[in-house]
Structure 1
Amino acid sequence: MMEDDEPLTPGGRLFLQPQMNQIIHCVLGLKNPIDVESVKFQVENSVMLQHPRFSSVMVRDHRGIEHWRPTKIDIDRHLLVIHNPLPTFSSDDHQSAICDYLSDLSTSSTLSMDKPLWEMHILIPHKCVIFRIHHSLGDGISLMSMLLASCRKLQDPHSLPTISLPTKPPTNFFIRFYNLLVSLFYSFIYFLQFILRCLWIRDRKTAISGGSGVELWPRKMATATFALNDMKTVKAAVPNATINDVLFAVISSGISRYLDFRKPNGLRDGVQLTGLAMVNLRKQPGLQELSNLMRNNSGARWGNKFGMILLPIYYHRSNSSEPLEYLKRAKVMIDRKKQSLESHLSYKIGDFVMSTLGAKFASMLNYRILCNTTFTISNVVGPQEEIMIGGNPVTYLRANNSALPHALILNMVSYAGKADMQVQVAKDIIPDPEFLAKCFEDALLEMKEQVTAKI
C-alpha cells in the first residue's frame, strides 16, 4: 500500500462485487457534428479530471482490500470513437441504433481495471456521446453533477445549469409531533416488509418477471418520452400530487396495459408487482456544484449516498380502472413512503452488513432483494433549461445502467421541458420494449385526456 492510496467506501466495494458490478451510462445527444479533438481538449481541462476518483486506479493490497491509487491519465485510452453508422434497420434511425448499442454495453462490455474506471464512447454519425462510469465512483446524483459541471446554459454561456429544488412549508410543533408519530409507525411497517423481502417474500411470476441469472441475458432498450407540461396537467387534477406521483401512476398503468396485451393466464385483478426505487439521501436534494460534492462536511457529499424503497403497483385490467385512479393510488402510497424512514433504514442496513459481515454477504443480500422484486426504477432531475457542452447544444439527456436480475429496468431523466425514460429489458422475457414504452406514453396521454375533458 502506498502513502497516497485511499480506501474505497463501503458502497464502492459493494459495486465491485461480481453480482453487483454496475456501470452507469450517461447519454448526451448533440445538435452539431462532434469534433473529437475538441472533446479531448474539453475532457483534459474539465473539472472531472480534478476529482481524485477519476484520476485513480483501483488496486488491492495484500489482504485483498480495495484502494484508490492516483495515476496519470492517458486520454486516448478513455475515448472510443465510432466513425461508421451503427447497424440498424434504417441508416437514419439514430435512436434505435443508439438503443441497440447501449443494450450491448449493458451486458457485454466491462471497464478495464488497469486504468481509472470511466470512458467515453463518441458515436460520430449519430452525434452522441456516452459516458460510462463505474458505480463504485459514485451514484447517479454525483455523476450527473460531475457531468453538468462541464456544461453551460445555452442562452447564458457563462452560467452553470440549474434545477428546481423542492421546498417544504414551515410547520408548528403539534404538526411536527404528529408527523413524528406517523413516521415511526410507517417506518416500522416498511422496515419489516423490507427485511422480509430480503429474506424470502417474492413477487408472483408474471410475463415481466426476471430472476437469478437474468442479468446475463441479452438486452433490448427503448425510450419513452413525456412532456413535463402533460405531467404537470395531470398532477394538478389531484391535490398536492407531484411529478413523481404521476410518473409512478404512468408506470403502474403502462405495465397493466402491457400485461393485458400479453394475455396473462390466471393473473387476477389486484396482483402486486414490486418496484425497487433508488432514493437520494443527501440533505440538499438535486444536482449541486462539484465544489459542494467534494467537501466531506457537505450535505451533498460525493459518492454513493442512496437508499432503497419498495414501491408496489397492482395489476388492473385496462378496461376496468379509471386512468386517474392510478394516480390517486400512487399518491397515497408514495406519501406514506415519504413519511417513513425506509430509505434511510435500508441504507443503514446495507452499511451495517458491509461493516460487520463484509462485501460478499452485502452483495448477496442486495442480489436477493433484486430477485424477489419485479423491476427497478430511478428518476434524476436534470436541468430546466437547454444546455451546451463545449459550445455544442445538447438535444437530449438520458441515463441507464448495466443489467440487473430484473427483466425490466426504468431510468428517467428530465431535461428542458421533457422527460426521457429508458426502458431496458431482457429481450427473451420482454421481446417488445418499443411497445412497452408506448404503453407508458399512452397511459400519460389517457390521463391528460381525462383531465382536460373535465375542464
Structure 2
Amino acid sequence: MPTTQIPMSAVDRAWLRMDTPENPMMICGVLTLEHSIPMNRLKRTIEERFLRFNRFRQRVVDTGDKAYWQDDPLFDLDNHLHQIALPGKADKAELQKLASDMNSSALDFRRPLWQMHYIDNYEGGSALLVRIHHCIADGISLVRVMLSLTDKSPDPRPRKVVSSHPSKANEKSSIQKLLHSVVDSAQAATSQARLLVQSMREQPNYPIKLASTASGVALDLLKLGLAPFEPKTGLKEPLSGRKQVAWADPLDLAEVKACSKALGGTINDVLLCTVTGALQRHFAAHKEAIPDNGIRVAVPFNLRPLNQPIEILGNKFGLVLVTLPAEVLDPLMCFQQVQKNMNQLKQSYQAQVTYSLLDLFGRGPDILERRALELLSNKASAVLTNVPGPKEALYLAGSKVTQPMFWVPQSGNIGIGMSIFSYAGTVQFGITVDKAIHADPNAVMNYFRDSFKALSHAALAGRHKSK
C-alpha cells in the first residue's frame, strides 16, 4: 500500500528549489558539551523529543512541478545519527574544520533531510553537530526544536514519553486532511471578513488605513525591486561551494547591554554596528576601498510569534535588506546610522513582501524563482541572523551545553553567512565563508571582538563626558 503524500507548502518548496551545489540549503548547528554523554541516552532523547515531529521521519518526493512529504518506509535513526571522534588532542580548529566540511556537503535526498554527528574527544568533553534542510523549517523554529532536546538541569524529572509512531487512530486519511484544510481555509476567510466588518464599524477611517497599508506594501515591493545591486567587492566572488566555518569566543551580554544603554539604543543596534566594524577592519586588512553606500546584508525577520510553542514546522519568515554603514569609520556615528537604518526598516513591510514573494515563487516555474533569487541575492553581500536564545545554561543528555552556534544557509550568489546567538549571559558570533571569497573567517572573528571593544569604549567614554 503506497504511503500518503502530503503536499509541501509553496514557501517550503521555494527553499527546496534554492538548493545548489554552491549553496546547499542547510541550517547547521554545533553544540559543544562539557562532558561526554552516553549514546543510548542521546538516542532516547532524540526519539522522544526530536522525532515527535513527524517531518523528521519524512523524505521529500519532488516530481518537478510539485513536491511532497512522504513517510520514509526504511526510516532508521542510525542513518541520521553518527558517532565519531576527532583525532588526537582535538581543539577548536579541528571542530571548525569538520563543521566546514559538513557545511559544504549536501544531505542525502533519498532519506529525511537531516543528520547529526555526535563528536567524542573534544576538549575534554564532546560536541553535537546538526544539519537540517531549510525546506523543513526556518532557522528560528529549528533552533527552538534543537533546544527542546535540552533540559534546565543535568538530571531532570522524566518527561512523558511521546510515541514516535502515531497510532492509526490518530492518523488522518488524505481525504480527511484535505477536508480539514478546506475547513481551516474557510474559517480563516470567515474570520478575516468578520474582523474587517468589525474594524470598519469601530474605526470609520479603517478603509483608509487599509488602503494606506496596501500602498505601503506596494511601495516596499517597488523599493526592493529598484534597489541597486551590491557594488563589486572581494565579498562578492563566483562561489566554489566549499565553506569555511569559524566562531568567536563569546561576548559578555551584560557588557553589550551596558553599551546599548549608554548609546540609547538596542542590543541589536550594538551588534549590527559591531558587525559593521568587523567588515571595516576586513576591508582595511585587504587594502580594499569601502563602498560609498556601505554594505547590504539580508536579515531573516521572524513572522511567527516567539511565545507560541512550535507545534507545526515550516518556514514563516521574510527577509529584509539592511544597510551596514561600513563607510562611516567613527564608531559612534556608525552606531547612529545603524540605528536610523533599523528604525526605518521597522516601519516597512519588507519582511511580509519577501515572504509573499517566496510563496509566489514556490507556486511558479523554476525559471521564475531562479531569476527572482538571482535578483535578490545580487542586492546583498551576506546573510546575517540574530536569534535570541535561552537566558540560563542548558544540559543535553546530562551534559552542560558550553557553547551553541547556528548558521543559516546563503542563497544564490551570496557566499557569507554571519550568525549572532545569545545564550546564558553571553553573545555568540559565528561565520561561514565560501573558500572563493578572500576572507579569513578566524580573522573576522577577531575583528568582531575588536570592533565591539572600540564601540563600547567610545560609548562609555561619551557617557562619562556627558556627566
TM-score of the alignment, normalized to the shorter chain, above 0.5? yes
For 1:40 and 1:10, how far apart are their aligned partners in 2? 33
When structure 1 is superposed on structure 2, of 128-137 and 140-149 the one drifting more is 140-149
For 2:244 and 2:263, how far apart are their aligned partners in 1? 35
For 2:324 and 2:446, how far apart are their aligned partners in 1? 19
For 1:184 and 1:66, how far apart are their aligned partners in 2? 31
Letter in 1 for 2:147: L
Kindly indicate whether the alpha-carbon contact (under 8 Å) linking 1:413 and 1:420 is maintained by their aligned counterparts in 2: yes
The one of 107, 116, 121 equivalent to 1:120 is 116
CA drift of 1:70 comes to 1.6
Letter in 1 for 2:317: F
Q: Does 1:204 align with 2:231?
A: yes
Per the alignment, in what secondary structure is the counterpart of residue 342 of structure 2? helix
Letter in 2 for 1:285: L
For 2:79 and 2:256, how far apart are their aligned partners in 1? 42
CA drift of 1:367 comes to 3.4
Partner of residue 41, structure 1: 44
For 1:183 and 1:329, how far apart are their aligned partners in 2? 26
- Could you say if the C-alpha distance between residues 218 and 382 of structure 1 is closer, same or farther in structure 2, counting changes exceeding 3 Å? same
Kindly indicate whether the alpha-carbon contact (under 8 Å) linking 1:15 and 1:21 is maintained by their aligned counterparts in 2: no
Partner of residue 195, structure 1: 225
1:392-449 Cα deviation digits (max 9, x unpaired): 1111111014454223210121111112121111233224221111111111111111
Partner of residue 97, structure 2: 100
For 1:48 and 1:367, how far apart are their aligned partners in 2? 34
Per the alignment, in what secondary structure is the counterpart of residue 76 of structure 1? helix
Per the alignment, in what secondary structure is the counterpart of residue 121 of structure 1? strand
- Could you say if the C-alpha distance between residues 132 and 256 of structure 1 is closer, same or farther in structure 2, counting changes exceeding 3 Å? same
Count of aligned pairs between the two proteins = 409
1:125-181 Cα deviation digits (max 9, x unpaired): 121101111111101122112112221113893599xxxxxxxxxxxx9xx999999
Kindly indicate whether the alpha-carbon contact (under 8 Å) linking 1:220 and 1:433 is maintained by their aligned counterparts in 2: yes
CA drift of 1:366 comes to 1.8
- 1:277-296 to 2 correspondences below 5 Å: 277-282=299-304, 284-285=305-306, 288-290=308-310, 293-294=311-312
Larger Rg: 2
- The runs of 4+ residues in structure 1 deviating greater than 6 Å are 176-186
Partner of residue 244, structure 2: 220
Q: Does 1:81 align with 2:83?
A: yes
Kindly indicate whether the alpha-carbon contact (under 8 Å) linking 1:183 and 1:339 is maintained by their aligned counterparts in 2: no
1:101-132 Cα deviation digits (max 9, x unpaired): 1111222x221122211111111112110111
Q: Structure 1 length as normaliser, TM-score?
A: 0.82
The one of 405, 413, 417 equivalent to 1:398 is 405
Letter in 1 for 2:261: A
For 1:98 and 1:156, how far apart are their aligned partners in 2? 27
CA drift of 1:182 comes to 9.4
Q: Structure 2 length as normaliser, TM-score?
A: 0.80
Per the alignment, in what secondary structure is the counterpart of residue 236 of structure 1? helix
Letter in 2 for 1:254: A
Partner of residue 58, structure 1: 60
Per the alignment, in what secondary structure is the counterpart of residue 315 of structure 1? coil
Kindly indicate whether the alpha-carbon contact (under 8 Å) linking 1:186 and 1:337 is maintained by their aligned counterparts in 2: no
Q: Does 1:375 align with 2:382?
A: yes
For 1:431 and 1:274, how far apart are their aligned partners in 2? 17
1:191-233 Cα deviation digits (max 9, x unpaired): 3221124xxx3111123223xx41x343222213322112111
Partner of residue 396, structure 2: 389
The answer for unaligned runs of 5 or more in structure 2 is 160-202
Identical positions, percent: 24
1:36-70 Cα deviation digits (max 9, x unpaired): 222222222x2221212111121245x75221112
The one of 18, 23, 26 equivalent to 2:26 is 23
- Could you say if the C-alpha distance between residues 428 and 142 of structure 1 is closer, same or farther in structure 2, counting changes exceeding 3 Å? same
- Could you say if the C-alpha distance between residues 337 and 401 of structure 1 is closer, same or farther in structure 2, counting changes exceeding 3 Å? closer
- Could you say if the C-alpha distance between residues 124 and 58 of structure 1 is closer, same or farther in structure 2, counting changes exceeding 3 Å? same
For 1:403 and 1:180, how far apart are their aligned partners in 2? 35
When structure 1 is superposed on structure 2, of 418-427 and 120-129 the one drifting more is 418-427
For 1:280 and 1:9, how far apart are their aligned partners in 2? 18
For 1:273 and 1:50, how far apart are their aligned partners in 2? 42
Q: Does 1:138 align with 2:137?
A: yes
Letter in 2 for 1:398: M
- 1:258-277 to 2 correspondences below 5 Å: 258-265=282-289, 267=290, 270-277=292-299
Q: Does 1:361 align with 2:372?
A: no
- Could you say if the C-alpha distance between residues 329 and 177 of structure 1 is closer, same or farther in structure 2, counting changes exceeding 3 Å? farther
Kindly indicate whether the alpha-carbon contact (under 8 Å) linking 2:299 and 2:322 is maintained by their aligned counterparts in 1: yes
Kindly indicate whether the alpha-carbon contact (under 8 Å) linking 2:276 and 2:325 is maintained by their aligned counterparts in 1: yes
Q: Does 1:340 align with 2:348?
A: yes
For 1:384 and 1:315, how far apart are their aligned partners in 2? 31
CA drift of 1:335 comes to 1.0
Letter in 2 for 1:249: C
- Could you say if the C-alpha distance between residues 235 and 179 of structure 1 is closer, same or farther in structure 2, counting changes exceeding 3 Å? farther
Per the alignment, in what secondary structure is the counterpart of residue 431 of structure 2? strand
The one of 419, 424, 427 equivalent to 2:427 is 419
When structure 1 is superposed on structure 2, of 334-343 and 399-408 the one drifting more is 399-408
1:221-262 Cα deviation digits (max 9, x unpaired): 2213322112111110233x2111111111112211221121
The answer for unaligned runs of 5 or more in structure 1 is 86-90, 161-172, 295-301
Q: Does 1:147 align with 2:146?
A: yes
- Could you say if the C-alpha distance between residues 159 and 230 of structure 1 is closer, same or farther in structure 2, counting changes exceeding 3 Å? farther
For 1:152 and 1:250, how far apart are their aligned partners in 2? 32
Kindly indicate whether the alpha-carbon contact (under 8 Å) linking 2:155 and 2:398 is maintained by their aligned counterparts in 1: no
RMSD: 2.8
Q: Does 1:233 align with 2:258?
A: yes
Partner of residue 10, structure 1: 10
The one of 318, 326, 337 equivalent to 1:315 is 326
